[in-house]
């Protein structure tokens, strides 16, 4: 086969793929039909059923044509308006949790949770400025360097908070700090996760919870070793938690400036995950007000039994309260291509009651 024949064959295949995807987009628009489902308040709610089986279209996710053409398969477009969020004060005197859902630029979504401690100043600072530092580095690095941009943004926001605190902070020995877990979704396919502390990111794939972060705590050998090599001490408190210098239950954070010489670093763990919309139902970001009383699979099960992401975020924080959480609780639920495909019950109240009776916490 000569060069001309190869070129014509490649062009023909490309045109065929484009035509196929245009057909899928048309089919997605015109081959859905409405079903009526009973909502939990008794009202009728329209549900669109995609007869192609590409994804459950109850969340009205449109087809993202550019990514679909690039990857040769239908890719849904994730919208910030479809993301569910909720944060509650819980049994604390005030809420130190902060969260952000935003489109940083076309084809790049930004989700983040910050769980402050020792005051809300550091969480507030990250809430206001983390996206500025991310944008700064994203403008200077290529798309392939998003992981480096996240790493640099964490370090820079920690340093800029230190400068801000020097001028505006209170005259106290303990400086506020915060966890930080952020996600960047690029072209609805590439998910980048960066985090410090014990706020979590989790993916529901095929109905099974898949944790994307590791809690930075003194019980991890590598974390404990770094603290001890920096002349820090791990002191176990009355409830068995390891505390850095008897003060902090995590080994990485933004802020906590007086503990930085003792190995408490702002360097994040960063990873990249390829979204599989045919199997991935949703991404969840949570603070430890939820994590400390619910397992990853329990979080996954609660979300799967809800009607939409906004309802799911509310149910997660409510479930944490029912499970006796005493902390602030925050949840971000991002629907993906398989949202609703693994739903096993239409009633969250029935399922949640069952979960409480079989949980080891109440046996």
pLDDT at residue 67 in the model: 77
CA neighbor of 55 nearest in space, from 85, 82, 86, 36 = 82
Report strand pairing: 269-274 vs 32-38: unpaired
167: containing domain = 80-212+270-362
**Structural domain contains residue 279:** yes
Distance CA 294, CA 300 (A): 10
Distance CA 232, CA 22 (A): 60
In which order are the strands placed within the sheet that holds 329-335? 84-88, 329-335, 280-286, 200-205, 208-211
Q: What token pair was written down for 83?
A: 């993301």
Name the pTM for this structure: 0.81
**Structural domain contains residue 70:** no
Q: What are phi and psi of 180, to 5 degrees?
A: -150, 120
pLDDT at residue 346 in the model: 39
Q: What token pair was written down for 32?
A: 């859905």
**Structural domain contains residue 156:** yes
pLDDT at residue 344 in the model: 54
Q: What token pair was written down for 238?
A: 């009355």
Residue 84 is part of a domain; what is its CATH number? Answer: 3.60.40.10
**Structural domain contains residue 208:** yes
**Structural domain contains residue 172:** yes
**E-assigned strands of 90-231?**
97-105, 108-117, 177-178, 180-186, 190-196, 200-205, 208-211
Distance CA 244, CA 227 (A): 8
**Structural domain contains residue 323:** yes
In total, how many domains does the chain have? Answer: 1
pLDDT at residue 209 in the model: 96
**Structural domain contains residue 44:** no
pLDDT averages per 10-residue partition of the chain, 363 residues: 49 51 46 40 45 49 80 87 96 94 95 96 97 95 89 97 91 87 96 97 96 96 96 90 93 96 97 94 97 96 94 96 94 94 51 44 41
pLDDT at residue 59 in the model: 56
**Structural domain contains residue 252:** no
CB 178 within 8 A of CB 122: yes
CB 247 within 8 A of CB 257: no
Residue 170 is classified by DSSP as -
pLDDT at residue 3 in the model: 47
What pairs with residue 236 in β-bridges?
Answer: 242
């Amino acid at each position: 086969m000569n060069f001309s024949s190869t070129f014509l064959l490649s062009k023909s295949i490309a045109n065929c793929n484009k035509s196929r995807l245009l057909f899928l987009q048309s089919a997605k628009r015109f081959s859905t039909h409405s079903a009526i489902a009973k909502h939990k308040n008794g009202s009728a709610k329209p549900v669109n059923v995609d007869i192609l089986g590409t994804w459950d279209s109850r969340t009205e996710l449109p087809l993202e044509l550019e990514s679909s053409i690039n990857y040769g398969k239908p890719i849904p477009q994730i919208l910030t308006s479809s993301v569910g969020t909720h944060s509650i004060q819980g049994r604390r005197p005030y809420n130190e949790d902060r969260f952000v859902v935003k489109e940083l630029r076309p084809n790049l979504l930004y989700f983040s949770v910050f769980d402050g401690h020792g005051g809300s100043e550091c969480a507030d600072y990250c809430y206001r400025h983390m996206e500025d530092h991310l944008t700064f580095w994203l403008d200077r690095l290529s798309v392939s360097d998003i992981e480096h941009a996240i790493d640099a943004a964490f370090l820079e926001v920690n340093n800029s908070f230190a400068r801000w605190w020097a001028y505006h902070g209170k005259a106290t020995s303990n400086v506020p700090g915060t966890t930080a877990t952020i996600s960047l979704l690029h072209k609805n396919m590439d998910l980048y996760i960066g985090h410090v502390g014990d706020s979590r990111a989790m993916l529901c794939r095929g109905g099974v919870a898949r944790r994307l972060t590791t809690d930075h705590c003194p019980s991890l050998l590598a974390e404990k070793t770094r603290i001890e090599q920096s002349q820090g001490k791990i002191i176990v408190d009355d409830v068995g938690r390891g505390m850095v210098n008897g003060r902090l239950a995590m080994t990485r954070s933004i802020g906590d400036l007086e503990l930085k010489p003792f190995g408490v670093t702002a360097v994040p763990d960063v990873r990249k995950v390829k979204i599989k919309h045919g199997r991935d139902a949703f991404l969840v970001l949570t603070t430890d007000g939820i994590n400390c009383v619910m397992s990853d699979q329990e979080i996954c099960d609660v979300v799967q039994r809800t009607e939409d992401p906004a309802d799911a975020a509310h149910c997660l924080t409510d479930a944490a309260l029912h499970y006796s959480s005493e902390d602030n609780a925050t949840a971000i639920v991002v629907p993906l291509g398989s949202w609703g495909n693994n739903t096993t019950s239409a009633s969250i109240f029935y399922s949640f009651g069952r979960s409480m009776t079989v949980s080891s916490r109440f046996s």
